[in-house]
Structure 1
Amino acid sequence: MSIDAINTIGSPFASYSPSSASMTSGQQINRAADNPAGLAVANGFQQAAMREAVGMSNANSGISLLQTADGASRSMTENILRMQELSLQAMNGTTNPAQRNALNTEFQQMMQAIDQTSQNTKFNGMNLLNGENADLSIALGDSASRLSLPELSLNSLGLAGLDLSNPANANLALESLQKAGSLLSTTQAEFGAQQNGLLSAAAEMSTSRQNSLASFSQIMDTDYARASTEKAREDVLLQAGIMMQAQGNQDRANVLALIN
């Protein structure tokens, strides 16, 4: 009596080869059954990398917002410097009324420019310097950073109602402008510090994301040397099974021939 070979041809288990699937797809895990624990860990790394990528994008948006606000504050500073010059000229006793009136006209134009900058500086439709959005939260993956946006209107800068109509008013204007200039300098320093904070956070998230992707790749990507060895082993076993089955079929044929 012949010993029957185990028939793997046509078996549902023979239709799926992990090594073949791995080499074809470039991934070690192509279905949950290949490595359930490894898939769970890999999914965790993939989700972490996604959060970090979004966090980096959010941080860059926050940096752009701060740069917009900083640019507007610098424009205000330039206007204030010019207004200080006008105030000093208006304080001079040799300035006649007609000249002082001309100085005041330019002074009021500078005031209007500062007010327009305060009311119209926007980022993504949000007002930045009129006090409407004094506190913003930037989502950074698993954490958040809060941005402070000061109000830089004429009232908050202490410039509302100033004029150069006479030397006394010009002197008052100069004092107010010096205080406003100091406030803007402090504001610009705060904008810079907040930008540096977001840049640091973005750099940390970039490093973390690279590590998450590397860990994901280590679990998921195909080790072609190992997969090739496993594929060769599977092929040898398959060929051996075919040969055993062929030999078993031949033995049956011989027995039937003897019976006949």
Structure 2
Amino acid sequence: MALADGLHANVAALRQSAQNASSGVGLLQTADGALSQVTNLLNRAVTLATEAANGTLNSSQVSSANQEYQNILTEIGNIGSTTNFNGNSVFSATATNVFVSDGTASGATTFSETIGALTTASVGTSSAGAGVDFTAVGVATLSSGMAQNVLTSLTTAIQDVAYQRGTIGANINQLNAASNVASAESVNLTSAENNVRATNYGQATSDMAKFKVLSQTGIAALSQANPVQQDVLKLLQ
């Protein structure tokens, strides 16, 4: 019972750990989906900046391009502030710990998943840290004179978002692997627990047949012994 109950505790921890890892994957996939939309918006902004850099546009047309550009920056900020998972902000730049364990101290692992902030002042993350700041002078407004600067910043931002999504993808793979390992170990330990608790029907059937034969043999011996005793008593009389 001590062995079986210990295995059962391990199985309970592993099953929940697999669910923990799956929830972590859900968080990361939510972030990745939001960032894919950010990439789409940035690509549209690249088109606008390239268009505004062309000298054939008049001031009114450049102004219209800038209006859409401002809407794009606003929407990127909205995505960063409103995207959430289970009521928690996704782009919080704070670590989310995903706990995986088999119920023992030596079998516990904590995965720290950090998704960078997403605002108009920080779009994407790079190996050096924060993303591109579109509130900075020279890129906050799209004009014919600054269109090339904006275009350069947009290209950098797209690269930074791609880097961030690559990191998220790697973390998703890691958590999926942890979930799969926990699930497989849970199945194996459940089988081991059943081997301890469950009846060995092959052995039990064999023992039942053996004991049935022994019982019948004993009864037959007793039935033969009773007449002999009676004959002995008759001789004594």
Query: Does 1:222 pair with 2:184?
Result: no
- Which residue number corresponds to residue 16 of structure 1? none
Within the candidate set 67, 90, 108, 2:52 is matched to 90
Structure 1 residues not aligned, in runs of 5+:
1-38, 251-260
- Which residue number corresponds to residue 143 of structure 1? 109
Structure 2 residues not aligned, in runs of 5+:
102-107, 124-132, 228-237
- Which residue number corresponds to residue 160 of structure 1? 135
- Which residue number corresponds to residue 188 of structure 2? 211
Runs of 4+, deviation exceeding 3 Å: 231-250
Displacement of 1:171: 2.3
Displacement of 1:212: 0.7
Q: Deviations over 1:100-122 (max 9, x none)?
A: 11101111111111011000111
TM-score, L = length of structure 2: 0.80
Structure 1 window deviating more from structure 2 (166-175 vs 199-208): it is 166-175
- Which residue number corresponds to residue 128 of structure 2? none
Q: Distance in 1 between matches of 2:176 and 2:45?
A: 35
- Which residue number corresponds to residue 53 of structure 1? 15
Report matched runs for 1:1-260 at 5 Å. 39-131=1-93, 134-141=94-101, 142-157=108-123, 158-160=133-135, 162-164=140-142, 166-235=143-212
Seq. identity, %: 28
Q: Which amino acid aligns with 2:112?
A: R
Backbone CA RMSD of aligned residues: 2.7
- Which residue number corresponds to residue 130 of structure 2? none
Report the secondary structure of 2:111's partner residue: strand
- Which residue number corresponds to residue 23 of structure 1? none
- The structure showing larger relative contact order (alpha-carbon pairs under 8 Å, at least 6 residues apart) is 1
Answer whether contact 1:59 1:199 (CA < 8 A) is retained.
yes
Report the secondary structure of 1:145's partner residue: strand
Q: Which amino acid aligns with 2:179?
A: A
Answer whether contact 1:130 1:153 (CA < 8 A) is retained.
no
Which one has the largest radius of gyration? 1
How many aligned positions are there? Answer: 216
Q: Distance in 2 between matches of 1:81 and 1:155?
A: 18
Displacement of 1:232: 4.0
